[in-house]
A and B are shown apart, each in its own frame.
Chain A
Amino acid sequence: MSNHPPKILLRLLAWFCDPDLHSYIEGDLIELYALKVKSKGRGSANWALTKDVLKLFRPGLIKKIKGLKKLNNYGMLNDFKTSIRVLRKEKLQTFINILGLTSGMTIALLILSYVNFELSYEDYNSNSKRVVRITMDYLDGDVVVDQDCETYHQLGPMIKEEIASAEEFTRAFGMMELVIEVNEKKFRERSMYAVDPSFLDLFGYELLHGDPKTALSEPYNIVLTANTARKYFQRTDVVGESIQLTKDVKGKITGVINEVPENTHLKFDLLASYSTMKKYLDKREDPWDSNDTFTYFLLSNEASYPQFKADLSAFSQKLTDQELIEDEKIICEKVADIHLYSNKTYEPEQNGDARVVFFLLGIALLVIVIAIVNYVNLSTAKAMDRAKEVGIRKIVGASVLRLRIRFFLESVLINLVSGSFTILLVSFFNDKLKEVAGISESTDLIFTPFFWSIFALLIVSSTLLSGIVPAVVISGFKPSAVLKGKFSTSKNGVWLRKTLVVFQFAIALFLLIQTLTAVQQIKFMQQKDMGMKSEKVVVIHSPSGRNLAEKFPPFRNSLLSNPNYQSIALSTSVPGMPTAEMGSTTNINLTDSPKEYRNNFFLYAIDSNFVPALEMEIVAGQNFSEEHNLKHILVNEEALKSWGLSNPEEAVGRKTKFWGEERTVLGVIKNFHQIGVKSAHIPMIFVYGNDGGYMSVRLGNGDILNQMESLETTYHEHFPNNPFDFFFLDQELDHLYKTDQQFQWVFSVLSVFAIVITCLGLWGLASFSVAKRAKEIGIRKVLGARVSQIIFMISTDFLVLVGVAAIISLPITFYLVSEWLNQYAFRIDLGMLLFLIPSLLILLVAFFTVFGKSYGISVANPVESLRDE
């Protein structure tokens, strides 16, 4: 027939159309098609037919499910119902699975949130990719001896002139620990920076009040953060107000900016215009004498960084050729890399460590893998309980796909429940995380868009990973074999599970050893001889003002008349303070030294009471006394090394070339830990000074509260209108171990988690194996095997796994733990015991995990397992 419609369309219709209606509808279509061909031609008839056929695909007209097929198309609701029933029936297994996944996800999410925060430094600033910091390497020949992030203040304008890709620059000259007076009230501030006008632009700060063009252009212009403004004036629109920077310097507030974010390396309380410092800087005779300024550059675009680097290197060479700098090299680093990759002297704050961050990232992944592996392990081990269900379903005609969906749904349910618990737990541990990570309360660490996307990713990947394996394994059972009772899983399945358990044990062992090592190392550091005694020492910030040298002696005398106070000393720094608070200098050598050493020394001004007050030891020579002055210096043992001396006695009485003067070494102080036990001793030179910013008071025996109270009263009597800010030296020093203690805390949690989860996996494996071998064990018992023999037989199977795990894990662990310890200048030695004890511990835990199962089967009456065949 010439005008018969295309067969394919009719076939399509026949495939989906309800058979009861099909013949009539097809008839209609053919008739209509013929009419259309006659009136409009074949093309449009085909088109109209296609549309009609497609529009016939609608409920009511498509095939209905009938008969036997209906048995297997019971719909998702039924799947859902049976899944819930199974989960409720297998309460213990469900509990273990949810526990494992929840804790795994919680730990992973918390770690990832922290890692994300650490990686987010400077992200708030849209310019950050184009901003670089100029820093300096100290060279001894070609060897870099030290790196300094502060440079010469004249470098900024010079480089801008010289290098084309340098668009804008700002310097930041830090002033630490100052006392600001506002309306007769004094406030102690941690840091103020004198900055160029482009600072706000480079660091992405917006002015809430004030004019960005002029805010930092005039001398004595001050920009406050909103927080500081509220602290001073209880409001933020304070442009035009004035504050007292020092006794005779007044600052005018010209702007208020938004908060300084937590994730920037350069934090401050207030800013001053750079020109405020001009008078001070102009006093310097040689601008190439002091490098004490941070310098930042905005590049014209991101891609010009390599060019800028090369140009800077050439510029540095030029300075050397002109003999402006000597043994120094000007380099730069990206501002976004500072927090994790830069660890130079005079960093504005303690930076993070990229290695730690990526280490944690690795751990987070391991943890989540352990949890998923566990789920897979348990559910495939339990699979034989499900074999009958699968067999029956298959016989009534269920397709493999249907069955997979059915088992997959169980994983989805488990994961969703775990996900909701995870959210609860994460919000519960949020504050603890911030505390451990040292992040301020107000920062959003969790429930950020990043958090939710990671959460979604975790749930989806965990569902997929933990759902697919059981779904495929369980749905693959052959119904004939299963229903005849000849069911057993393949050898491969057992191998897979054993491998997974070995893998888990290897990780658990590593975490346990790492934790114990960290505990030992921290204990070692806390007990180490510090070279001084920090207990019962209160450090007070000295009052502001120039006449401290006159006002201090009466204060000291009235304090020491009270037996509660043993001694009091003045110094420009105390142990535990950042090196940034000390001065540093190079090129100090003995006058008769055969060689010019180019080492860096840290400088410290102390009075004659400092050494006895902190109970430091003079190993050679003598301490300062009142009649000594700037003609004399003390050094520490480490400084002697810089001069190639080994015996402290040799140094006493020698003369040094010190900034163009001759100064005599009066004595040598035994090395004490100025910057914590973590780092090596630093070479230090002590000059005499009686107006330092810290007063160290050694308390006598007695009630601390009373002592502190009368100390404050006495302080206020002598220094009215000054804030009484103090800290306990031993507590401050403990802060230096904070990151290590955090690290230890994280690892303790992780190792407990890993051990528990791994044992759950082992337990699942043991129950599977015991159930499978029930008949064998029954026969053995009938033939006279003893309970102990059977326990031994089953346990060895599993203890071998632990052994294999140990063999794999120990070498890797040894390597990683040694690497970790290498970051400490003073570290413990790795003994055999540190590896042996955790291994035995894991073995013991594994034994007891299996014991429950093996004991149960070995005392069971063999009749139970043998009676039905």
Chain B
Amino acid sequence: MGKYQLGEFEEIVLLTIGVLYEDAYGVSIKLAIEEKLKRNVSVGALQSALKRLSDKGYVSSTEGESTSERGGRPKKYFVLTDTGKRAIEYSRQVRNELYDQIPKVALSLKGEL
């Protein structure tokens, strides 16, 4: 994927940000991924993925309100940039093309019986 570099976990984070739309910040992203994928996500892994995504320009961030349940700390909201949207589009397209090229026989589950 020469044009848009996107790791597997990065892609999941990027898609989740898209899903959450205007409510994507650290905790919500983490919880969403954990719920959807049934896998544990550490804050460290998530934050470094977010940092890489911003460095690549796929997401942009804005500072949000600070609440008391956050100990007075502000939230950092992420939204998809145009490049980010194109990256999602591109990776989906590649996957679909590949999927379509798989012969029907290979996908049949009967072989396992």
Chain-B contact segment, one of A30-38, A576-584, A679-687: A30-38
Contact A56 B47 (CB under 8 A): yes
Chain-B contact segment, one of A57-65, A128-136, A271-279: A57-65
Are A57 and B44 CB-contacts (below 8 A) given A25-B26, A28-B27?
Answer: yes
Contact A30 B70 (CB under 8 A): yes
Chain B contact patch, size range? 20 to 34
CB distance from A480 to the nearest CB of B (A): 44
List the A side residues contacting B70 at CB < 8 Å. 27-28, 30-31
Q: How far is the CA of A28 from the CA of B28 in the complex (A)?
A: 9
Contact B27 A61 (CB under 8 A): no
CB distance from B2 to the nearest CB of A (A): 23
CB distance from A416 to the nearest CB of B (A): 37
B 7-47 to A, binary, CB cutoff 8 A, 1 in contact else 0: 00000000000000000011100100000000000111101
CB distance from B55 to the nearest CB of A (A): 8
Within 8 A of A (CB), among B62-113: 63, 66, 69-71, 73-76
Contact A24 B42 (CB under 8 A): no
Contact A21 B51 (CB under 8 A): yes
Contact A27 B75 (CB under 8 A): yes
CB distance from A797 to the nearest CB of B (A): 65
A652 within 8 A of B: no
A4 within 8 A of B: yes
List the B side residues contacting A34 at CB < 8 Å. 69
CB distance from B19 to the nearest CB of A (A): 18
Contact A27 B47 (CB under 8 A): no
Q: How far is the CA of A257 from the CA of B48 in the complex (A)?
A: 68
B56 within 8 A of A: no
Q: How far is the CA of A32 from the CA of B47 in the complex (A)?
A: 14
- Which among A24, A26, A52, A57 has the highest number of chain B CB atoms within 10 Å? A24
Contact B73 A24 (CB under 8 A): yes
List the B side residues contacting A23 at CB < 8 Å. 73-74
Contact B42 A55 (CB under 8 A): yes
Contact A30 B69 (CB under 8 A): yes
Are A27 and B52 CB-contacts (below 8 A) given A52-B42, A55-B43, A56-B43?
Answer: no
CB distance from A522 to the nearest CB of B (A): 76
List the B side residues contacting A595 at CB < 8 Å. none
A530 within 8 A of B: no
- Which among B25, B30, B69 has the highest number of chain A CB atoms within 10 Å? B69
- Which among A28, A34, A58 has the highest number of chain B CB atoms within 10 Å? A28
**Which B residue sits closest to A57, measured CB to CB?**
B44
Q: How far is the CA of A60 from the CA of B52 in the complex (A)?
A: 8
Contact A27 B66 (CB under 8 A): yes
A115 within 8 A of B: no
List the B side residues contacting A32 at CB < 8 Å. 27, 30, 43
List the B side residues contacting A60 at CB < 8 Å. 48, 51-52
CB distance from A97 to the nearest CB of B (A): 47
Cross-chain contact of A28 among B43, B52, B63, B66 (Cβ < 8 A): B43
CB distance from B48 to the nearest CB of A (A): 5
Q: How far is the CA of A30 from the CA of B25 in the complex (A)?
A: 14
A29 within 8 A of B: yes
Are A26 and B73 CB-contacts (below 8 A) given A31-B27, A32-B30, A56-B43?
Answer: yes
A867 within 8 A of B: no
List the A side residues contacting B69 at CB < 8 Å. 30-31, 34
Contact A61 B47 (CB under 8 A): yes
Contact B44 A56 (CB under 8 A): yes
CB distance from B98 to the nearest CB of A (A): 31
Q: How far is the CA of A395 from the CA of B2 in the complex (A)?
A: 48
**Which B residue sits closest to A25, measured CB to CB?**
B47
- Which among B45, B52, B71, B75 has the highest number of chain A CB atoms within 10 Å? B71
A 141-165 to B, binary, CB cutoff 8 A, 1 in contact else 0: 0000000000000000000000000
Q: A27-B26, A56-B44 are in contact. List 4 more A-B contacts (CB 8 A).
A: A31-B70, A32-B43, A60-B52, A61-B48
- 18 sampled A-B residue pairs with Cβ under 8 A: A1-B71, A23-B74, A25-B47, A26-B71, A27-B26, A27-B71, A27-B75, A28-B25, A28-B26, A28-B30, A30-B69, A31-B69, A51-B42, A56-B44, A61-B44, A61-B47, A61-B48, A61-B51
7 closest Cβ contacts across the A-B interface?
Answer: A27-B73, A55-B44, A28-B26, A24-B76, A27-B70, A56-B44, A52-B43
